[in-house]
Copies of this chain bind each other. A is one copy, B any other.
Amino acid sequence: MEFSENKPIYKQIVEHFFSRILSKTWTDGERVPSVREIAVLLEVNPNTAMRAFHELQELDILYNKRGVGYFVSEKAHKKVKEIKRKEFIEVKLPSLFKDMDQLDISFDELKELRK
Contacts and interface: CB of A to CB of B under 8 A. Distances in A.
Interface string A81-110: 100110011001101110100110101001
A92 B99 contact: yes
Report, as a range, how many residues of chain A touch the other chain: 20 to 34
Interface string A29-56: 0000000000000000100100000000
Given A45-B67, A114-B97, A19 B107 contact: no
**Copies of the polypeptide in the assembly:** 4
Contact of A9 (B45, B66, B107): B66
A84 B113 contact: no
B89 A113 contact: yes
A12 B30 CA distance: 27
